[in-house]
Amino acid sequence: MFRRTTFAIAALALSAAMLAGPALAKPVVIKFSHVVAENTPKGQMANKFRDLVKERLGDKVEVEVYPNSQLFGDNKVLEAMMLGDVQMAAPSLSKFSRYTKKLQLYDLPFLFTNMDAVEKFQKGPEGQHLLESISSKGLIGLGYLHNGMKQLSSSKPLRVPADAKGLKFRIMSSDVLAAQFKALHATPLKKPFSEVFTLLQTKAIDGQENTWSNIYSKKFFEVQPYITESNHGLLDYMVVTSTEFWNGLPEDVRAEVKKSLDDAIVFGNKVAAEKALGDKQKIIDSKRSEVIELTPEQRNQWVEVMKPVWKEFEGQIGKDLIDAAYNSNK
């Protein structure tokens, strides 16, 4: 009896499947992995990209977004991309030094006066050319995305460079950033983004540098009593994919995915501009952290101490490139 029923069910299932016709083609899946919260420029950009692709490509392509280092941290994501375990990511420009030394440009302290200068440089020939700087490694730079200018947060007030002496700061995996903190006679520690909150909370480190958006969304301000509005460096991203994956997409699909990404980046950049102001204000309103503004004299001291780092990396980056970036401030 039991066997006969099972047989009947199986036969029914089979005829239902035959009626449904040939199996539908599976969608191309784009896993987009990132490390920040969803309420950030990158988080919002990735979600917008997913929605635009769904709207425009229907069942052909499916974007799955994995925020908060859920899938990979930035130290692993590019390797995972080459292995085909993830198809897109947007690590900060500070995290590419294993692939190219050229992008170290963006970490030079006090290089760009504001985000307009960054935008101008990135849209220009040198900025565009830098998107190709990782192509020999099997990766394609699909575009830049902004976050904003970095601030210094700490367990003690930082007004002049001497205040940072002897303190431990978490940095991204960049030798330029290490040199920048060494110039302050501080100790830089390269640590993944996912560990920063705990390192600060347990006082294993004294401070870190990041944008208003990251300081707010990851609650660093709740465990850092002081934030100096230094605007000393840039945190921007490059959206990347692997050459193998990208070239394997049908041409029409690739064009539509790229258009959706470009539109999502425009949206993400607007979010970045809003959050640089809005998240700063939220931190001030929280009264958890004191925001320190520098006088022009104090700021000059930071510039003087940090700027020699440029010379140290000129050989690896190229003087022409540094000049081109600096000239975008004009």
Minimum CB distance to ligand LMR, residue 172 (Å) = 5
Cβ-based nearer residue to ligand LMR, 158 or 172: 172
Nearer to ligand LMR, 9 or 204 (CB): 204
Q: How far is the CB of 210 from ligand LMR (least distance, A)?
A: 5
Q: Which residues bind ligand LMR (CB under 6 A)?
A: 35-36, 42, 92, 147, 172, 193, 210, 214, 235
**Cα–Cα distance, 111 to 105 (Å, whole number):** 9
Residue (45 or 257) nearer to ligand LMR, CB: 45
Smallest separation (angstroms) from ligand LMR to the CB of 147:
6
Q: Beta strands of the chain (E only): which ranges?
A: 28-33, 61-66, 88-89, 139-154, 168-171, 187-190, 207-210, 226-242, 290-293
Q: Give Rg (Cα) of the chain.
A: 23
Q: How far apart are the first and last CA of the chain?
A: 86
Sign of CA dihedral 254, 142, 272, 214: positive
CB of 203 to ligand LMR, least distance (A): 19
User: Token digits for 262?
Assistant: 């470009």
Indicate the pairing of strand 139-154 with strand 226-242: antiparallel
Q: What are phi and psi of 212, to 5 degrees?
A: -55, -40
**Comparison of 89 and 111: residue with beta carbon closer to ligand LMR:** 89
Q: How far is the CB of 7 from ligand LMR (least distance, A)?
A: 56
Residue whose CB is less far from ligand LMR, 40 or 242: 40
